[in-house]
Structure 1
Amino acid sequence: MKIEVLGPGCLRCQNLEENVRQALKELGLDAKIEKVTDMSRIMGYGIISTPGLVVDGKVVGYGKLFSVEEIKRMLS
């Protein structure tokens, strides 16, 4: 599984990455996590606000800091 955290590197983006790591740990899943800060790549996903979350190439959410529980639901 590949998870991309989209955003310019702001605090919300950093917190989203931490929540992703915690959700993976709690679910016992292994995944490659990539931080994407390049705006042209972010825009290529068609999201209009960051942070964004992409799982295996599919946008699963954007525009807010998702909680660990929300991320766990997205990954299950």
Structure 2
Amino acid sequence: MFYRKNLPGWERAMRTILGVVMIAYGLFGMPGTTVGYLIAATGAVAILTGFFGFCPMCAMAGRRLSSS
């Protein structure tokens, strides 16, 4: 199933970069804690949305890219 991208390029880059930071902080800054694993999992989701350019929550809110 293909989804239409709803994230601009700059936001995709920021989500990817911040996702890596979140994973590093969750695994190395808070090692072995549940909160650390939750932060790392959230970072993984941020990386995936940045990589694919589609955010399900943005789609539910009706966000679309301008066609220009």
TM value normalised by structure 1: 0.32
Higher relative contact order (CA 8 A, sep 6+): 2
Higher strand share: 1
Higher helix share: 2
